[in-house]
Structure 1
């Protein structure tokens, strides 16, 4: 009885070439994908110049304290595709406002940012049609209430099913 034993395959230079090409192909492919994701997503830029921003910090803090001393409170509602904002003084009376702009900023993706200008409805309530995508948003509200600078209201909010949570 003679059994044909299979002859072991020989590892050649061609096999090594394919292994090296496959390895570097995977490495280069992953690098290209990661570079593309990095280029098309959030830049990571918070301020243009950190030195200038640090020099302006104390003045911005004083402005915020002066605004807080007014005792005004803003009411923001987002539901049914409508953004509504109103501003009341410390006594609960409506503050006369000339105009309101709202910037919806996505915390990690600048391409989703959107500025919405609200128009006067009734009783110092300002509205606009806008439905932000579900998720976390930083909402920056600038209300022109006749002060030297616009009244600024910044909030981090969660939108779920088109409504403020």
Structure 2
């Protein structure tokens, strides 16, 4: 006894639907990922990679010379203040003519800012500025007699309401 009811037949329309669903999913995911990648971070680390590569050895030598002096920096971000201390080994204060702090978000640049730290005595420099909570990369440059005596970058996390 055989049934006259035909079994399922895979037709060209079924194949077309399967291909549209398959490739449509892949294309949608790719466009979504591309949009998210370009809208969240520019990817720009240096403006000109060729120039940066040419300057690398000079910068590396400068950093080695700076590290050989033994100067250490300590950064504290609390409440509405930024505090940075410069000291030689043995906690001897280091005086600088100018100390600048560049606060940068790890991703994006719309909240980045630069602030000049004022001397507060004994190798301590301060600025009154609220820093929003979250992760920051803080690049600090201290200059004495026109020469950079400290150039460092620290990654910090600020918690709470500017604390």
Partner Cα distance (2:103, 2:6) in 1? 69
Structure in which a larger fraction of residues adopt strand:
2
Q: Which moved more, 1:33-42 or 1:66-75?
A: 66-75
1:1-165 superposed matches below 5 A: 8-90=7-89, 92-107=91-106, 109-111=107-109, 114-120=112-118, 122-123=120-121, 124-135=124-135, 137-144=136-143, 146-159=144-157, 161-162=159-160
8 Å contact kept, 1:118–1:127: yes
Helix, strand or coil at the partner of 1:111: coil
Partner Cα distance (2:80, 2:13) in 1? 63
8 Å contact kept, 2:138–2:156: no
TM-score by length of 1: 0.70
Aligned residues: 157
Structure 1: segments with no counterpart, 5+ residues: none
- CA drift of 1:45 comes to 4.3
- CA drift of 1:42 comes to 3.8
The root-mean-square deviation of aligned C-alpha atoms, in Å, is 3.2
Partner Cα distance (1:51, 1:119) in 2? 33
8 Å contact kept, 1:74–1:153: no
TM-score by length of 2: 0.71
8 Å contact kept, 1:141–1:152: yes
